[in-house]
Homo-oligomer: A and B are copies of this chain.
Amino acid sequence: MNSFGNNFCITLFGESHGSCVGCVIDGIPSGFSPDFEAIDSDLLRRSPRAAAFSTSRQETDSYEILSGLYRGTTCGTPLTVIFPNKDSRPGDYAFTAPRPSHADLAAFEKYGECCDLRGGGAFSGRLTAPLVFAGAVAKQILSGKGVSIASHICSVLDIADQPFDPVSNELPQLDPMFPLVEASVRRPLEALFDELRASGDSVGAVAECKIVSLPAGIGEPFFDSVESVLSHLLFSIPGVHAVEFGEGFGFGKLRGSQANDPIIPDRRTATNRSGGINGGISNGMPIVFRAAFRPVPSIAVEQDSIDLKSGEAVKLTITGRHDVCILPRGLAAVEAAAAIGILDLLMQDKGRKL
C-alpha cells in the first residue's frame, strides 16, 4: 500500500506532525556511494523556503540514515532515511471542520476518529521529502548509466514557459530553484505569485519533465508500460491530478497524419509526439510528460465546510502561511517519481546490478 517497485522498491511512512517521515529503499545495489551534495540539492528544491512562491515556515529538511550505509557506501541492505519533524505546530491545524479539497474528509471516512490529520498527516506534502531523497538516489544510479532527467515550470494560469525540445537528446541549463526554459518568464510569474500572496489565494500549475538517453526497449507491453509505472508514481504526489505523455490530450485534436512520428535512419523519429514511448515501451527518443498540480487548497479566504460532529454548515478560514504555488517545489517530486519508475523498469530488464 505504501510501497512501490518490484526491483527498486520504496516504502514511505510517517505523518506530518508525528516524530518523523521517512522511507525504506530496497533493491539498491551494494557498493554505491551516494552523492549527498546532490541529494541535499534536490531536497533544497523541495524544501519550504522563504521565497516569493513559497511558505515562510522554517521546515528544515535535515535527515538521518538509519540503515544500509557502511563507511559511506551502500552495503546491499535496505537504505532507510528519516526526516525528523522538528518544527511541528499542531495548533495551526485544529481539526473540527474538514478543509475543502484537502484529504481531511476522505481520511476521516476511511480511518475514523483516530486518524492523525495534524498538518495533513500522512497526506502531507511533507511525505515528498523521503520521496525526493529516494528519487535523488535513483537519479544518481541512472546517471551512472547515462540517463538524465530535468523538469521545468511549464505553465501557471496563462503564463507559459517554452516547452522542452522533445526531439533533441540534450537538456537545457535551468535554475534549479526556479527552472524555466525561457528565463524572461520568471518576472511575470513572480508578479503573479506576489499578487496571489497578497490576496491569500493560490494557483495551480503544470510541470513538464524530460528524460534523455534512456535505451529503447524499457517497459512492458501491458500493465508495466512506461506510462503506467510513471503515472502510478506521479499520481501519488499530493496535488497531481493530470498526467500526459507526448502530445497527451493534444492527441484529441489531431488526425493520424498529423500525429504520427516519421521514422528516420538511426532508428530515430523526426518528431516525438509519442513522448518517447510506443506500445508502453521506450523507443529511444526522449521521454516527455506533463503533470498538473491543483492549486494548494490551503487559502486564506473564508470557505464553506461542516462541523463533523453536528454535521452543520460552518465557515472556515485557514490561517498560517502556505505555498502560493506548489510547483517550483513539486518539480523535485516529479523528477523523483520519474527516476524511481524508470530505474525500477530498467532493473526489471537488466537486474539489480544493471
Contact = CB atoms under 8 A, between A and B. Distances in A.
Given A101-B261, A111-B30, A264-B304, A204 B254 contact: yes
Interface string A238-278: 10111111111111111111111111111101100111011
Given A13-B80, A105-B263, A251-B294, A75 B349 contact: no
A295 B228 contact: no
A67 interface: yes
B201 A255 contact: yes
A227 B254 contact: no
B67 A100 contact: no
Contacts of A6: 6-7
Interface in A77-107: 77-78, 80, 82, 97-98, 100-107
Given A103-B278, A114-B70, A235-B227, A248 B256 contact: no
A151 interface: no
Contacts of A11: 3, 11, 24, 26, 78
B220 A243 contact: no
Contacts of A106: 216-217, 277-279, 281-284
B222 A122 contact: yes
A155 B255 CA distance: 13
A254 B325 CA distance: 11
B251 A293 contact: yes
For A102, A202, A242, A282, the residue with the greatest tally of chain B CB atoms inside 10 Å of its CB is A242
Contact of A77 (B2, B278, B351): B2
A188 B103 CA distance: 42
Label chain A's interface by main secondary structure: mixed
A175 to B, nearest CB: 21
Given A67-B20, A265-B311, A299-B257, A76 B278 contact: no
Given A236-B228, A264-B304, A304-B264, A216 B274 contact: no
A9 B19 contact: no
Interface residues of A, number: 158
A185 to B, nearest CB: 14
Given A216-B110, A305-B263, A283 B353 contact: no
A7 B225 contact: no
A154 to B, nearest CB: 8
A244 B246 contact: no
Interface string A126-155: 010000000000000000000000000001
Given A223-B232, A263-B304, A246 B256 contact: no
A8 B220 CA distance: 14
Interface string A41-57: 00000000000000000
19 contacts: A11-B24, A13-B78, A20-B66, A31-B113, A76-B111, A77-B122, A103-B278, A106-B277, A110-B218, A204-B253, A225-B235, A228-B233, A241-B244, A251-B292, A254-B294, A256-B301, A258-B295, A347-B351, A350-B351
Contact of A295 (B236, B246, B259): B259
Contacts of A22: 66-67, 80
Given A297-B260, A349-B352, A67 B18 contact: yes
A4 to B, nearest CB: 4
A222 B116 contact: no
A160 to B, nearest CB: 10
